[in-house]
Amino acid sequence: MTDRTILVVGTYDTKNDELDYLAEVIRGQGGGVLTMDVSVLGDPATPCDYSKHEVAEAGGSIIAQAIAGEDENLAMQIMARGAAALALRLYREGLFDGVIVLGGTMGTDLALDVCAALPLGVPKYVVSTVSFSPLIPAERLAADIQMILWAGGLYGLNSVCKASLSQAAGAVLGAARAVEKPRFDRPLIGMTSFGKTVLRYMVALKPALEERGFEVAVFHATGMGGRAFESLATEGAFACVMDFAPQEVGNHLMGSHISAGADRMTNAGRAGIPQLVSIGCYDLVDFVGWQEAPERLRGQEVHAHNRLLSSVMMTADQRREMAREMCRKLATARGATAFLLPVQGGNEWDRPGGPLHDAEGLKAFVEEVRHCCPDNVTLTDLDAHINDAGFAEAVLAQFDDWIAAGMVTTG
């Protein structure tokens, strides 16, 4: 008997020894193992639980097609589609509890698709020669993915690479044993924000929403937080979203690497989830603090938040562009959508006398929102700052109206 089962994925034709070693460590710790071969040309030393033929077929193809194309990139994409589809099916059937994938750049490309296909809360470990590399864009990363560098393991087992492999094997099994997955036993509110030094509405809203019987998850809108938020929205996990920190939309628009992806601020609307939207830090573009600012933002005022993160103040024209982009995304929403517009400002630093105050820039943004707001969105001007009590009160009033109208599920 084993308490947790781990799905081990890799190209068994070239990495059989390394993948078998992972399985041995997991079994040695009392875990169970399922194996999946994503090879194209060769075969494993011994049959896997799920063969390359089953993987290709799960993606709507066959191995012969992957080989006939004579293109390793296209072949691995065929296998990635199949591995992701098969892994999700096996998980839904209750056949494994966590996944570990081993690979170089080709295997990592596939691993990212496999991990992205699985729900948040499923332990996902990738052992890769390019872990933490800038080769991997943020939008390819599952919200709770874990990675470890496959050090010294490009060709064959040795004591150096075993250090990485054994850690990863123990980590995924330990995570599968320890994880407390989202229960969704209360309706869930997804909220975006930043820390209390800049945005404070969650301090009042979270307990008020919990008193109404809701669970509240606040996502830090610095790229990966937005990815997690959008991933759960895609799954329909939220009863309502309060997307009050849209800065990741501006980051992506302005070319920052701190991006939650092109689909930021679209998935809740696509799923028909009611959404309240506002302007927290709309006027700032975050970028990697140890890199040069995105080209189109160079020469503009910079606020260094820490050694990892800096923020550029948008110009009035860029704020108008941000307003148009937000409205364009909200126009696709299928569910109830309300845009709460606090006309006195969107973060603690932009108040009069604050270091980032720009009355003309704020005015430009507000006017553009009013001009571009789509017909499917209810726009409400608030004579308040986003950190004022009046903003939180307006949020709760709109939310209570939606509950009374049956637009937000309460249980």
**Is residue 293's pLDDT more than 90?**
no
Same domain for 88 and 215, yes or no, is no
Same domain, 40 and 132: yes
Examine residue 162 and state whether it is found in any structural domain, yes or no.
Answer: yes
409 lies in some domain = no
Q: Which two tokens stand for residue 46?
A: 């011994």
Q: How would you list the strands of the sheet with 215-220, edge to edge?
A: 215-220, 188-193, 240-243, 275-277, 337-342, 377-382
304: number of Cβ within 10 Å: 9
Residues 321 and 275 in one domain: yes
If you average pLDDT over residues 2-11, what whole number do you get?
A: 93
In-domain check, residue 410: no
pLDDT band at 292 (very low <50, low <70, confident <90, very high): confident
The answer to whether residues 220 and 162 belong to one domain is no
Average pLDDT, the chain: 94
Is the pLDDT at 337 greater than 70? The verdict is yes
Q: State the average pLDDT over residues 97-112.
A: 95
The residue type at 325: E
Are residue 165 and residue 206 in the same domain, yes or no? no
Q: 133 is in which domain, residue-wise?
A: 5-178
Kindly tell me the burial class for residue 1, based on how many C-beta atoms sit within 10 Å of its own C-beta (0-12, 13-18, 19 or more): exposed
Q: What is the pLDDT of residue 2?
A: 63
Query: How many domains is the chain partitioned into structurally?
Result: 2
Lowest mean pLDDT among 184-198, 245-259, 288-302, 350-364: 288-302
Last residue of one domain, picked from the residues 178, 199, 227: 178
The backbone torsions φ and ψ at residue 410, rounded to the nearest 5 degrees and listed phi first, read: -105, 0
- Tell whether 242 and 275 lie within a shared domain: yes
Last residue of a domain, one of 118, 149, 178: 178
The pTM for the full model equals 0.85
Section 4-31 average pLDDT = 96
Domain boundary among 127, 158, 178: 178
346 pLDDT more than 60: yes
| Cα–Cα distance for residue pair 52/57, rounded to 1 Å | 9
Confidence label for 336 from pLDDT (cuts 50, 70 and 90): very high
DSSP symbol at 50: B
- What does the DSSP 8-state code read for residue 153? -
Does a structural domain hold residue 130? yes
